[in-house]
A and B are shown apart, each in its own frame.
Chain A
Amino acid sequence: MEGITKAFPGVKALTDVDLTARAGEVHAIVGENGAGKSTLMKILAGVHTPDEGTITLDGEQVRFGSPLEAKQNGIGMVYQEINLVPDLSVAENIGLGNMPASGGMIRRKALHDRAREVLEELHTRIPPQELVGRLSVSQQQLVEIAKIYARQPRIVVLDEPTSSLSHHEAEALFAVVERMRNSGIAIIYISHRLREVLEISDRVTVLRDGRMIDCRSAQGLTPKEMISLMVGRDLDDVFPKQAVEIGEPVLEVRGLTRLGVFEDVSLTVRAGEIVGLAGLVGAGRTEVARAIFGLDRLDAGQILVGGEEIRVRSPRSAVRAGIAYVPEDRKRDGVALSLTVKDNIALPVLHRVSTLGWVLRRPERELAQQKAEDLHISPPVVDRPAATFSGGNQQKVVLAKWLATNPKVLILDEPTRGVDVGAKADIHTIIGELAAQGVAVLMISSELPEVLAVSDRVYVLHEGRLTAELSRDDADEESVMTAATGEGAAA
């Protein structure tokens, strides 16, 4: 791709960007949210047409008018969201749009054989006859890749493929990527996880504000260098940690049990304390958080806020007790995309800015504006629908919404997933400030370095049970991973 320029009404998304992907290499693209990575990939995939610039494929200039044309030319895209049909089997999903058939009837055996072949080539152990809806997220991701791989693409684009995977599962994915590379496919890899980028890629292109900043060999590059290229300044510390005086217990959870999901989970979070909840995906971290917040039913256990037991039947009662929950799935449980930022932020506190059921518009607006500014939501225009903001800013909107409730307990579930480096630092700073104000913070994250850097204490879950409680000094990647994989002795 050469000299690609693309403008949308009001924004110039890409300016004169070059990108070369060679057969048999993994080429990473990094940059903050809004740097133009997605736009560039959508141009490659034929979703958008460039205003200027050319795309050359195997020495031949091409122009894709539609995603289908791109697909036919051997471009395979694996998006962040999984695009599989949950009610069809793995084999059917892999064959979808390209079913082996004779006379309109599907040749089931050929379909299954081909799926099995592809899955074996990628060294995955997923049964082709299983329904996709029954697979874990990481397995679905692999099916998605297998589906693309089955069409024998020349270029495969992976957009944030590991954002919902645990460390372990990511390793499995890397192995698959490796295999695709070795079979001569050019792989374009987009990720916010810089270590992962260094681990897997041969070359790295850095985008910033729609321009190509640099293209380097991954060899010898450090995360720190990449960050400074991405943000255009040096970040001294990716995870700033403030020293905060830790007070009385605010959230106490005793013997929390949800049959078949987690069992006998007890934890304490004190005022001003940031407690990490670590574990592999599927260990029950999110489920524990959802249960504390009243989104899921509990079978046993007590929840105490400020020393008093509360009965959490619904999120409503949790909110009343002073608990706030920033959910894992931002688009499902977090933001109402078609509502404005103002409406989103004011939603849980409308009763505070109203009399007798009538919303007082000025206080409502002032509240939203204030929170938007506090959290550096950009642009700070609260009258625009949340859908028009980037992922990082949507996440800030969710945070702003909960900060408006002045919570005593803040539960954060993957607060920086899919968020760019700048916004991530902002979010960490905000979390730190909240703790300094005496909020008890419980944070779930799949990024171990993040958990370790931010937390005062870390609980580790393994298959629904707490396996370790580690102080900041004792917690390191090794000790947490040992507990998370259930290797260590139970704490």
Chain B
Amino acid sequence: MNALKKICESPAVLTLIHYRVVVILVVAVILSASLVPGLTEFRTLSLSLDRAATLGLVAVGLTVVLLLGKLDLSVGSILALSGIAAIGLQPQLGQLGAAAFGVCVGLLAGVLNGVLVVLMQINSLVATLASMIFLRAMCHFVTESNPISGADPLFGLAVSRSLGGTFSLRTFIFLIAIVLLFLWLTYTVAGRHVYAVGSNEDAATASGVRSGRYIFGAFVFSGLMAGTAGVMQSLATNTGSPVFGSTVTLTAIAAVVIGGTRLEGGRGSALGTLGGVLVLAAITTALEYESVPSYYQNIVTGSILLLLILLDRIASNSPRSALSLSSLLPVRSKEQSPAR
């Protein structure tokens, strides 16, 4: 027991735990590279990134919501509805117009969530659960539960085709979004306020931060990102389907949490989310190549999630009791969460 304790508390191990996302990512990439021949080739890499971009865009939006200690369950429904709008309205609005409208649908759905959570003071889980159900029903309503397709399948190719032999458009959008989010969260006053509101909303408000506005804005942003992801997904497949995105919400939340953002808010980062998305992308690519059924992927995802949460407890800076890996070994003491 003592030897184990010593190992757990050694600086090397603690450093590894600190960079756990990177470690897991490296392991995942090495594993999948050994399973999938040619994964390290740029073309394959670019393709698997393109597939992860949809998840990634949704995760970018969710990162801000989760940092604020809120939850948005409606992103999957928003994704589907935006996609349907972008395809279904092509005859009326033209291809670009419909795409833009699809993005606006996401934005408006985000505004709806913002109104429910901030103005009507409904718990974000409940509010977005309601809008998730409602928006999903709208998807089925406007499509009469059938997938719809656009007239011109070539238009959407631009989204997923690699640009000049590099990444696809949506990969670029995802990566740019990550970088911008990183800069915004890390270096701007507004970003700092997000962390403060997430860590302690009351204290932030009492310090003159307009907490409500940040939370409202986060839901709008999350809707916008989900809408963008949905539009691109639909354009890439030339299909708007009422069942699109039915699993993306929880996977995206998993990616964000794997990336080190905690559900209670106040801690996390954009780069962590990038890591989380890439881990899931690497696993998906590898396991699909091996024709492993998708539920096995979910087992892996679930296990990684749990492992990282446990590691997070060790790395978390909560005082005293939770400081070391050894604190996980004996019976854990009743801990009082700082945010009540």
Give Cα distance in the complex from A430 to B199, angstroms.
27
User: Does B188 reach chain A (CB closer than 8 Å)?
Assistant: yes
User: Judging by beta carbons under 8 Å apart, are B206 and A293 in contact?
Assistant: yes
Whether B295 sits at the interface, judged by CB under 8 Å, is: no
A339 touches B195 (CB 8 A): yes
Given the complex, which residues of B lie within 8 Å of A295, measured CB to CB?
205-206
Complex CA distance for A405 and B308, rounded to whole angstroms: 39
Q: Are A339 and B330 in contact (CB under 8 A)?
A: no
Contacting chain A: which of B48-56, B217-225, B312-320? B312-320
Name A residues whose Cβ lies closer than 8 Å to a Cβ of B. 8-9, 42, 47-49, 65-67, 81, 293, 295, 314-316, 318-320, 325, 327, 331-339, 343, 346-348, 350-351, 354, 357-359, 361, 384-385, 387-388, 401
Identify which of B205, B267, B319 contacts A388 (C-beta below 8 A). B319
Once A333-B202, A338-B199, A387-B317 are accepted as A-B contacts, the answer to whether A359 and B338 lie under 8 Å apart by CB is: no
Is the beta-carbon distance between A9 and B203 smaller than 8 angstroms? Answer: no
Minimum distance in angstroms from A240 CB to a CB of chain B: 29
The tally of CB-CB contacts under 8 A between chains A and B is 112
| A315 contacts B205, C-beta separation under 8 Å | yes
Please determine whether B333 and A336 come into contact, CB atoms closer than 8 angstroms. no
The tally of residues in B whose CB lies under 8 Å from a CB in A reads 38
Are A343 and B192 also in contact (CB < 8 A) when A8-B323, A316-B210 are? Answer: yes
Residues of A contacting B195 in the complex (Cβ-Cβ under 8 angstroms): 336, 339, 343
**A315 touches which of B208, B319, B331 (Cβ 8 Å):** B208
A405 to chain B, nearest CB (A): 8
CB-based contact B320/A339 at 8 Å: no
Take A385-B317, A387-B319 as given contacts and tell me if A337 and B199 are in contact as well, using a CB distance cutoff of 8 Å.
yes
Tell whether B339 is near chain A: CB-to-CB under 8 Å: yes
Determine the distance from Cα of A293 to Cα of B206 in the docked complex, in whole angstroms. Answer: 8
Q: Is the CB of A384 within 8 A of B189?
A: no
Contact (Cβ within 8 A) B196 A339: yes
Cα-based distance from A350 to B208 in the complex (angstroms): 11
Apart from A65-B330, A318-B208, A331-B340, list 17 A-B contacts with CB within 8 A: A8-B320, A49-B330, A67-B334, A293-B206, A332-B203, A332-B340, A334-B203, A336-B195, A336-B203, A337-B339, A338-B266, A339-B200, A347-B209, A351-B189, A357-B189, A361-B187, A385-B317
Across the interface, do B207 and A348 meet the contact criterion of CB distance under 8 Å? yes
Contact at A357–B188, with CB atoms within 8 Å?
yes
- The 20 listed contacts between A and B (C-beta, < 8 Å) are A48-B321, A49-B330, A66-B331, A67-B333, A315-B206, A315-B207, A315-B208, A332-B200, A332-B202, A334-B206, A335-B200, A335-B203, A339-B195, A350-B193, A357-B190, A358-B188, A358-B189, A359-B192, A361-B187, A388-B317
> Considering the complex of A and B, which 9 residue pairs feature the smallest CB-CB distances, nearest first?
A336-B199, A337-B338, A319-B208, A336-B200, A316-B208, A338-B266, A385-B317, A348-B207, A350-B189
A348 to B208, CA, bound (A): 6
Q: CB-CB < 8 A to B321: which residues of A?
A: 47-48
Q: Which residues of B contact A358 (CB under 8 A)?
A: 187-189
- For B207, the chain A residues whose CB sits under 8 A away are 315, 319, 347-348, 401
**In the complex the two chains form, what is the Cα distance from A47 to B9 in whole Å?**
20
A contact residues around B318 at 8 Å (CB)? 387
What's the least CB distance linking B258 to chain A, in Å? 19
> Roughly how many angstroms separate A359 CA and B195 CA in the complex, as a whole number?
14
Contact B317–A338 (Cβ < 8 Å): yes
B324 beta carbon closer than 8 Å to chain A: yes
Contact of B196 among A319, A320, A343, A359 (CB under 8 A): A343
Is B317's CB under 8 angstroms from A384's CB? yes
